[in-house]
Amino acid sequence: MIQTIIIYGIIWTFLYSLIAIGFSLIFGVADVVNLTHGMVIMAASYVVFLLVSNVQISLAISMLSGIIAAALLLIIIYLVFIRRMLKAPHTSMLLLTIGIAMMLQQVIILVAGTQTRYVPSIISGSRPIWGVVLSNQQILSVVVAIALVLLLGSFLKWGRQGRAIRAVSQDREIAAASGVSPNVIFTLTVVISGTLAGIAGVLVSPIEVVTPEAGWGFMVTAFSVTVLAGLGGPIWGVVVSAAIVSYAELLTAFFIAPMLKEAAAFTILILTLMFKPSGLFGKKRI
């Protein structure tokens, strides 16, 4: 039983990290609470589903298309809507992005219906890891997620553009005075965030199910992890926060009731906002 909690905790820590990092980056860099993030993840899953089942394109090409579509979608949302309101109060941005998210959900329903959809696994079969049988799809998803988190962490720490992103995240004005263009960095962050959302969508959809409502679930996860991690903190802060959320969910499900699993993320969100508004690793108060 303990092995199961540990192994599943690792899987969901990295999948949650992948879901949350894109959201956290935009939040930290552009100070934008982008509530469309969950729907962008869902959009990637739906693109894969529609291409595989309706157009019958190979799974690999469908997944690549899903990632590109998610990145493009977030770029369009940013250029058409968000960029014009960067200086608007947080409340306006919240209302704007929640409106876009609801619109996206309706578009998904119009195109694919409300029915639960299923995306086939990239690889079939299962294998035991430390006594816990996992599907090869779960193993692949978590390996890719770990690799991406490490890659992104390295990029932000050592890459030239990565350091610029961190600089803008910590202080936009000083970064601008040092020759970094915040607008270019915003756009770069949106591209990275959209790509990560797309990858999260294609990796999670074969493990989970694809429904128009699932986007809100991703959003709650991303929001809880980001608030717990805090703004402007290191990427490993997001990973640690994702671990706290995923283990809290698993322990709730194991020892209280599986149906209360999602309540754990909400509880963490509420407690953080009440007692540690700057988050565990943040440098700014949310």
Partner 1 sequence: MERREIGLGCFCSILIVLLASFSLTEVANAQAPIKLGVISAWDFAGGQGVKRGATMAIDDVNAAGGVLGRKIQAFVYDNKGNTDEAKRVTERLLYNDKVDAIVGFWRSELAIACQPLIMEAKKIVFLTGASAPILTKERIKQDYNRYKYTFCTIGSSDRFAKLFSLPIIVARDKLGLSKIAFLAEKTAFLVPTVEYVNKEFKDMIVYFGEFSPTASDFSIELTKAKAAGANNLFALSSGPAGTPLVKQWYDMQLAMLHTGYSVQAQDANFWKTTEGKCEAVITAHVGAGAGLPITKKSRPWYEKYRTIYGEYPISLMDPVAYDAVWAWVEGVRLAGTTESDAVVRALESKQFKYVGVSAVLEGFDDIHAPYGGGWKPGEAWGFCLIQWLNGKREVIHPENVKTADITIPDRLKKLMGK
**Minimum distance of partner 1 from residue 114's CB (angstroms):** 4
Q: How many residues does the chain have?
A: 286
Q: How far is CA 262 from CA 220, 224, 230, 270, in A?
A: 9, 11, 20, 13
Query: Which residues, numbered 234-263, are part of the site for partner 1 (CB under 8 A)?
Result: 250, 253-254, 258-259, 261
**Which of residues 55 and 80 has its CB atom nearest to partner 1 in the complex?**
55
Instruction: Name the one residue in this structure whose structure tokens are 């499900």.
Output: 253
Residues contacting partner 1: total by CB under 8 A: 28
Q: Per CB under 8 A, which region of 90-98, 121-129, 181-189, 266-274 contacts partner 1? A: 121-129
Residue 8 tokens read as 């599943």
Q: Please, are residues 281 and 229 in contact by the beta-carbon 8 Å criterion? A: yes
Rounded CA-CA distance 172/32 in Å is 13
**Which of residues 119 and 168 has its CB atom nearest to partner 1 in the complex?**
119
Please pick, from the candidates 81, 94, 121, 187, the single residue that binds partner 1 as defined by CB under 8 A: 121
Secondary structure class of 133 (helix, strand, coil): strand
- Check binding of 50 to partner 1 (CB under 8 A): no
Please pick, from the candidates 55, 58, 80, 113, the single residue that binds partner 1 as defined by CB under 8 A: 113
**Minimum distance of partner 1 from residue 215's CB (angstroms):** 13
Query: Which residues, numbered 187-226, are part of the site for partner 1 (CB under 8 A)?
Result: 208-209, 211, 213-214
- Check binding of 277 to partner 1 (CB under 8 A): no
The DSSP line for 166-225 is: HHHHH-HHHHHHTT--HHHHHHHHHHHHHHHHHHHHHHHTTTS-B-TTHHHHHHHHHHHH
- Check binding of 99 to partner 1 (CB under 8 A): no
**Minimum distance of partner 1 from residue 133's CB (angstroms):** 5
- Check binding of 91 to partner 1 (CB under 8 A): no
Secondary structure class of 120 (helix, strand, coil): coil
Q: Please, are residues 265 and 224 in contact by the beta-carbon 8 Å criterion? A: yes
Binding footprint of partner 1 on the chain (CB under 8 A): 1, 4, 8, 113-116, 118, 120-121, 124, 126, 133-135, 137-138, 208-209, 211, 213-214, 250, 253-254, 258-259, 261
